[in-house]
Amino acid sequence: MAVFTASDASAESGAALGPAYDRVRGATRALAAPLSAEDQCVQPMEDASPTKWHLAHTTWFFETFVLPLADTSYRPHDDRFAFLFNSYYESVGPRQPRPQRGMITRPSLDEVHAYRDRVDDTMRAMLRRPLSPELRARVVLGLEHEMQHQELLLTDALETLASNPTLPTYRAREATKETAAPALHWIERAEGLVEMGHAGAGFCFDNERPRHRAFVERFSFASRLVTNGEWLAFMNDGGYATPSLWLSDGWAAVRSNGWRAPHHWIDRQGAWHRFGLRGLRPVDVTSPVAHVSFYEADAYARWAKARLPTEAEWEIVATHARPPLENVLETGALEPRPLESNGDAAAVHQLFGDVWEWTSSPYVAYPRYRPLDGALGEYNAKFMCNQWVLRGASCFTPGASVRATYRNFFPPAARWQATGVRLAKWNLRT
């Protein structure tokens, strides 16, 4: 799978964006390829969108926010698509209700492909011309936006396949070797006034800015992620049946949803299995746990006599660790993978790849935060309540999107993303 790197997107000349554009757009199409037109059309739940909708929406994004800026005489490919493929931009106009995205059987997948081709042609022609800074910034935003949707496309497709009693496989499984999870170590950091938020010239979303100061207390940070095996211990210890471990809203979610294991875990004759894009198989105890909600992550941490890290803690560890990309979309693993047991025990592992890590930080604006102007101001700002920040990246995240300051966010009961758990503590010595 082609890799799009951040440096491409931030290159100086307009023409330099052409190859990046092609790679990102091609990668999206490639990710959809194993799915049939029927798979790509349906909507398994309100949160998840059909694959075809992702293909069209990301195209609509260029058509709406980029092409008219480059050419005021630009006419949309189809006047009806603004209604069908606007996601949530109130400023742009009315739109198909989110729960009804699965009813868009027309345009057909072929017509959406033609829509992509047509817009791609226009975009490529535009990219051969000089670009104003604003236009260039919007092209980059469109590519970053599309990379975000690549991840959603996969997690939403997983939800679709999991909704089918026959549990179809997205891609056949490869042989995997057995490993043993290395022991979890605690990395300590001193207290201090730190800087956090994005700095420098590379791309970032508005919510990563401005860089600002925060005071952080001394803390300890787990060297690796919580594993499926550890999660089974939590389950076997009555984790899902012990209200004192849970936030009040979390306990209500356990009760009303009947949670007793992570999402996509299936009990087959008493043995826990896990369904993923590569099918159903027995739970691998050494892989990081995935598809758990914030409520579950928080309850697990309480059970483990630890806590979740704040996003400031996470960011300063990640910034200084300069960690490698470990298991992102381009590896093709499509599932969280166990940490190699011969890793450096003293190092921080699994920060970027495998699973997103729930933090203890509600998703709110940084001090002096300013959204983008105009309709694009709706991109992030209006979601700054009732959600929690996740940091890192998952096995579904394009490598080019990964950076230490990235702020992912989801509601506390969300489980359909590849979300996992890293522990922290205030201080081991006291």
Residues that bind a copy of itself (CB under 8 A): 36-39, 41-42, 44, 52, 80, 83-84, 88, 90-91, 96, 100, 102-109, 160, 163-166, 168, 193, 212-215, 217, 243-244, 246-251, 294-295, 298, 360-362, 364-365, 367-368, 377-378, 382-386, 412, 426
Rounded to a whole number of angstroms, the minimum distance from the CB of residue 57 to a copy of itself is: 15
Residue 107 or 182 with smaller CB distance to a copy of itself: 107
Rounded to a whole number of angstroms, the minimum distance from the CB of residue 403 to a copy of itself is: 23
Rounded to a whole number of angstroms, the minimum distance from the CB of residue 320 to a copy of itself is: 19
Rounded to a whole number of angstroms, the minimum distance from the CB of residue 168 to a copy of itself is: 5
Rounded to a whole number of angstroms, the minimum distance from the CB of residue 325 to a copy of itself is: 31
Residue 127 or 154 with smaller CB distance to a copy of itself: 154
Residue 221 or 294 with smaller CB distance to a copy of itself: 294
Rounded to a whole number of angstroms, the minimum distance from the CB of residue 294 to a copy of itself is: 8
* Cα gap 27→400, rounded to integer Å: 12
Residue 219 or 406 with smaller CB distance to a copy of itself: 219
Residue 51 or 227 with smaller CB distance to a copy of itself: 51
Rounded to a whole number of angstroms, the minimum distance from the CB of residue 181 to a copy of itself is: 29
Residue 177 or 429 with smaller CB distance to a copy of itself: 429
Residue 24 or 112 with smaller CB distance to a copy of itself: 112
* Cα gap 223→226, rounded to integer Å: 10
* Cα gap 340→360, rounded to integer Å: 27
Residue 309 or 338 with smaller CB distance to a copy of itself: 309
Rounded to a whole number of angstroms, the minimum distance from the CB of residue 250 to a copy of itself is: 7
